[in-house]
């Protein structure tokens, strides 16, 4: 690894704008934003993917490798990514910093506590929870209805035992009430930090967050509880983006980590806008399949921030197509061209969907060792038939060299195909109209069914004046539908909305579908059980 001051210098950042966290990590001081404000923006490229297999398909890997390849070709490039959560790291996936020759480093530190951002977000979230309970205990001047307190607690770990809890048990410990925990990546504080433009905007958004309702149905906010300054103090360092590097020294800004299946799935606006001032091209990513992270990138992050994406890279793997063609996970390494062909409908729909947002799309076929030449050729030929540019990406094995063809094709696309970005729906649509536009136009469903409580909540949000907000869909990442077993490109299904909640500070309405959980559980054999701390301090099994 290069000292982070050298990586910063490569990006055009003077050391005076860095707050060092050792030799290889730094935070970017707000003074950098002021210095760069007159500099023109670079071009913004989103990396997204088809619906994945449970093992993941290398979207972050491709983002890292593509940024390395662009820099190797002489195009000043900065990557902008999310911070990993401890939940997936110790749960199913393990680390989230790429792999092979396309990694962000120091990987172990980034995957664990990094610079403390997620801990600060958890603390700010739980401070507000404590203040809510304390307010009710000390007389409840605001008239909060204890049965309508909606603010839960948060922890950055998969722990299904905390989904539903009872607080306040025992004499003198407050009013007993049902509550629960979210994973920190699903916290509204996380979304607020990622969508804020600066510290003042952060405070304004924190103040708008709704903690509950009075008996008359009026909102009670964090601002009403005088919680904002305390929360902002806890977030004073977390709001600053983090600078690290890839294996070849490409600058990477990592900031914020909302999940895409239960939150909006994009890194911070502050980090992305800083990257756009530093690089001629910024490569960023949005979580899970394009119908989740990419939709929220276009309809939430871009609409709120004014960002204008120039292109999208759609990551596909032979394994993902076989999985969507009906092959079980354990058999994905075996050659099966028929299953690849059967899964192409998933790729076709994602291509169609991305084009609805008015951006040119490049397909990156992420190469795995078990892929056969005939399977790869089938995917590339199918992309040509769909009218899509496509290149094989070998960045895991070869780093920048393995992404050179992909990078060259992207540069050509950016020069020859200007984007005409537009969100999927107009803000004037009511909330049901926005939900149904996503389900019918992107997912391929025929309609939406609503639990009675969800219908009542949507009507109340409209009454309270929040009908103009975008919607943030929470659903399984493995299917276009709300059922993980419905693979490929299903049509005619109905999406069941089980619950909706208002994130007034973040500026969207969360729509939970099917059996989506905002607190994941651990698998039967969690990643934590496969890890080992070696005598030299390195960690086996995390990456």
Q: Model confidence over 426-482: pLDDT tens digits? A: 999 999 999 999 999 999 999 999 999 999 999 999 999 999 999 999 999 999 999
Return the pLDDT at 403. Answer: 98
Instruction: Classify each residue of 133-168 as buried b or exposed e, where b means 16 or more C-beta atoms within 10 Å of its C-beta.
Output: bebbeeeeebebbbeebebbbbbbbbbeebeeeebb
**522: helix, strand or coil:** coil
Contacts 24+ apart (CB under 8 A), 145-148: 145/212, 145/213, 145/214, 145/215, 146/175, 146/177, 147/177, 148/212, 148/213, 148/214
Determine contact, residues 277/41, Cβ cutoff 8 Å: yes
Q: Model confidence over 248-294: pLDDT tens digits? A: 999 999 999 999 888 999 999 999 999 999 999 999 999 999 999 99
Domains and CATH numbers, the chain: 4-116+238-416 (3.40.50.300), 119-232 (3.30.1510.10), 431-513 (3.10.410.10)
Return the pLDDT at 390. Answer: 98
CA angle 424, 502, 169 (to 5 degrees): 150
Q: Model confidence over 324-357: pLDDT tens digits? A: 999 999 999 999 999 999 999 999 999 999 999 9
Cross-strand partners of 476: none
Determine contact, residues 69/371, Cβ cutoff 8 Å: no
Query: What is the spatial distance between Cα 285 and Cα 297, in angstroms, rounded to a whole number?
Result: 9
Query: What is the spatial distance between Cα 482 and Cα 439, in angstroms, rounded to a whole number?
Result: 10
Confidence of residue 506 (pLDDT cuts 50, 70, 90): very high
User: What are the CA-CA distances from residue 209 to residues 294, 362, 384 (Å)?
Assistant: 25, 38, 47
Residues of the chain with pLDDT > 70, as a percent, come to: 100
Return the pLDDT at 311. Answer: 98
Which tokens in the block code for residue 525?
Answer: 């054999």
Q: Is the pLDDT of residue 96 over 90?
A: no
Query: What is the spatial distance between Cα 333 and Cα 318, in angstroms, rounded to a whole number?
Result: 9
8-state DSSP, 335: -
Confidence of residue 538 (pLDDT cuts 50, 70, 90): confident
CA angle 307, 88, 117 (to 5 degrees): 55
Among candidate residues 214, 321, 257, the one with its CA nearest the CA of residue 116 = 257
Q: What is the mean pLDDT of the chain?
A: 96
CA 178 to chain centroid, in Å, comes to 29
């Amino acid at each position: 690894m290069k000292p982070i001051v050298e990586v910063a210098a490569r990006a055009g950042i003077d050391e005076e704008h860095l707050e060092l966290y050792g030799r290889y990590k730094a935070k970017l001081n707000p003074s950098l934003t002021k210095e760069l404000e007159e500099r023109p923006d670079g071009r913004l490229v989103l990396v997204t993917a088809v619906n994945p297999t449970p093992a993941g398909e290398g979207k972050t890997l491709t983002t890292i490798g593509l940024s390395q390849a662009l820099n190797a070709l002489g195009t000043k490039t900065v990557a902008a990514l999310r911070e990993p959560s401890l939940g997936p790291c110790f749960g199913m996936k393990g680390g989230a910093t790429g792999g092979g020759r396309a990694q962000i480093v120091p990987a172990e530190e980034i995957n664990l506590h990094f610079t403390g951002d997620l801990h600060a977000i958890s603390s700010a979230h739980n401070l507000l929870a404590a203040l809510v309970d304390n307010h009710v205990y000390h007389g409840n001047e605001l008239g909060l209805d204890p049965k309508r307190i909606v603010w839960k607690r948060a922890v950055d770990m998969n722990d299904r035992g905390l989904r539903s809890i009872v607080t306040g048990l025992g004499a003198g410990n407050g009013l007993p009430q049902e509550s629960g925990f979210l994973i920190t990546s699903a916290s509204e504080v996380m979304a607020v930090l990622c969508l804020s433009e600066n510290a003042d905007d952060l405070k304004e958004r924190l103040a708008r967050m709704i903690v509950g309702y009075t008996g008359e149905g009026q909102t009670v906010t964090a601002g009403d509880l005088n919680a904002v300054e305390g929360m902002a103090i806890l977030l004073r360092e977390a709001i600053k983006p983090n600078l690290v590097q890839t294996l070849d020294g490409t600058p990477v800004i990592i900031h914020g980590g909302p999940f895409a299946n239960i939150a909006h799935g994009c890194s911070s606006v502050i980090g992305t806008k800083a990257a756009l001032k530093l690089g001629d091209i910024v490569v960023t990513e949005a979580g899970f399949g394009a119908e989740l992270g990419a939709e929220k990138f276009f309809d939430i992050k871009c609409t709120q921030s004014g960002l204008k994406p120039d292109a999208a890279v759609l990551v596909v793997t032979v394994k993902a197509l076989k999985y969507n063609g009906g092959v079980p996970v354990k058999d994905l390494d075996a050659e099966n061209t028929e299953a690849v062909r059967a899964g192409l409908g998933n790729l076709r729909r994602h291509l169609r969907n991305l084009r609805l947002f008015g951006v040119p799309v490049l397909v990156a076929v992420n190469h795995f060792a078990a892929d056969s030449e005939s399977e790869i050729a089938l995917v590339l030929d199918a992309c040509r038939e769909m009218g899509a540019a496509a290149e094989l990406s070998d960045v895991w094995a070869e780093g920048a060299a393995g992404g050179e063809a992909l990078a060259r094709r992207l540069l050509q696309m950016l020069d020859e195909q200007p984007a005409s970005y537009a969100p999927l729906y107009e803000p004037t649509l009511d909330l049901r109209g926005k939900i149904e536009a996503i389900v019918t136009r992107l997912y391929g469903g025929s309609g939406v069914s609503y639990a009675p409580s969800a219908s009542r909540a949507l009507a109340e949000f409209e009454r309270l004046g929040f009908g103009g907000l975008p919607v943030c869909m929470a659903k399984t990442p493995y299917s276009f539908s709300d059922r993980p077993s419905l693979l490929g490109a299903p049509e005619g299904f109905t999406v069941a909305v089980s619950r909706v909640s208002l994130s007034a500070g973040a500026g969207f309405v969360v729509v939970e579908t099917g059996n989506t959980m905002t607190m994941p559980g651990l698998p039967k054999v969690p990643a934590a059980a496969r890890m080992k701390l070696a005598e030299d301090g390195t960690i086996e099994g995390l990456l």
